[in-house]
Amino acid sequence: MLISEYERKIVRKICDEIIKHDRFFLTTHQVPDGDGLGCELAFSIVLRKLGKQAIIVNEMLPSAIYSFLPGYSDILPIEKYPEIKLIPDAAIIFDCSNKERIGRPLSFIPESVAIINIDHHQGNTQFGHINWVCENCSSVGEMCFFILEELNCVDKEVAECLYVAILTDTGSFRHHFDTRTIRIAERLLSTGINPESIADHIYNSYPVSTLKLLGHALVSLQYDMDLHIAWTVLDEQMLMETGAFEQDAEIIVDMLRSIGNVDFVFLVKERKNEIKFSLRSKKGFNVRLIAEKFGGGGHDGAAGFSMTGITLTDAIEKFLRYLKKHQSKRQVENG
């Protein structure tokens, strides 16, 4: 059995809520990744087929590598939302451990709206009226499969979106998955989607601007042999010079994880008055606990946090001081 009785009950509760409402606001965290985006698109397709209205609004537009997905062109730039007259009666939030991760779209959700919170992060604040948080799930895409299957709506278009969600959040089935994940992927593949074509779109279709940004990241790459870490910096000037977007930085930090003989890598991004750290680790090293020391969070293998009121140089030095203070892997993980 792929789903427990507890999970089945909450899936049915979410389905009842979907049937009950007619106008839906869909969103995910500020920098949409394949998981949050895939779930938004899958739900948007299903809701419209059920005769309901659905709108996707995110802080930032997703990377163009996902533009092959059905419904991608319907994603509304946040600046356009005030022109839309849709007043939602329900909101579905994907892949957010707290409301603050949503960013500006949160201000568009009226207080009276029913919020469905679907997430797989540890430390989720249970901010929804209905909360389904499954820390053991590979992705929110895995969770959404059960909801949309219960609605009998997993067709080829929906399957492609959910497969992308699972594929990207497991690092192409390299981490944080189990036999249930594989069996769900098998069901999605049975709809006729093409996994080779999907992988080609995601991993072999980067725009030139992204590769130029990667060039900057590699030039700035630094390594500490004692700490077994590597890091790089991307500032606003680099983004302007390359024509890349902040979303592209997440692709780059995932690439840096391939560096040998490191426990984890991190990328530092300058964004207005905020310094953002994105951490990626090798198997067995928990960067979530490190991120939590700085008010952030995430997964054991991928986490992040931000610093404000501090310069880029000072932020990096502060973080390195912490790591040096807790030099061994065990010290860092246990704080």
pLDDT of residue 332 exceeding 60: no
Give long-range contacts, CB 8 A cutoff, 24+ apart: 202-210: 202/34, 202/65, 202/66, 202/164, 202/167, 202/168, 203/172, 205/65, 206/65, 206/251, 207/64, 207/244, 209/242, 209/243, 209/244, 209/245, 209/248, 210/244, 210/248, 210/251, 210/252
Task: Provide the pLDDT for residue 208.
Answer: 94
Interval 233-245 mean pLDDT:
90
- What is the structure's pLDDT at 330? 47
Mean pLDDT, to the nearest integer, of 69-89? 92
- Specify the range with the lowest mean pLDDT, choosing from 136-140, 187-191, 235-239, 326-330: 326-330
Lowest mean pLDDT among 115-119, 171-175, 228-232: 171-175
Range with the lowest mean pLDDT among 23-27, 47-51, 247-251, 276-280? 247-251
| Tally of CB atoms within 10 A around 241 | 13
Walk across the sheet containing 229-234 and list its strands: 222-224, 229-234, 264-271, 274-281, 302-308, 297-298
Task: Identify the pLDDT of residue 298.
Answer: 87
- C-alpha span between 19 and 16 (Å, rounded): 5
Question: Do the strands 90-94 and 53-56 form a parallel or antiparallel pair, or are they unpaired?
Answer: unpaired
* Mean pLDDT computed over 254-268: 92
Question: pLDDT > 70: what percent of the chain?
Answer: 97
Domains of the chain: residue spans and CATH: 5-203 (3.90.1640.10), 208-334 (3.10.310.30)
Q: What pLDDT score was predicted for residue 26?
A: 98
What are the pLDDT digits (tens) for 98-111?
999 999 999 999 99
Cα separation, 221 vs 267, in Å, equals 9
Q: What is the mean pLDDT of the chain?
A: 93
| Between residues 95 and 122, the one the model is more confident about | 95
- 3-state secondary structure string across 41-62: HHHHHHHHHCCCEEEEECCCCC
- Start-to-end CA distance of the chain, whole Å, equals 39
Which H helix or E strand runs over 304? strand 302-308
Band of pLDDT at residue 270, cut at 50, 70 and 90: confident
What is the average per-residue pLDDT within 313-328? 89
Instruction: Flag the least confident range among 23-27, 81-85, 213-217.
Output: 81-85
**pLDDT at residue 333 tops 80:** no
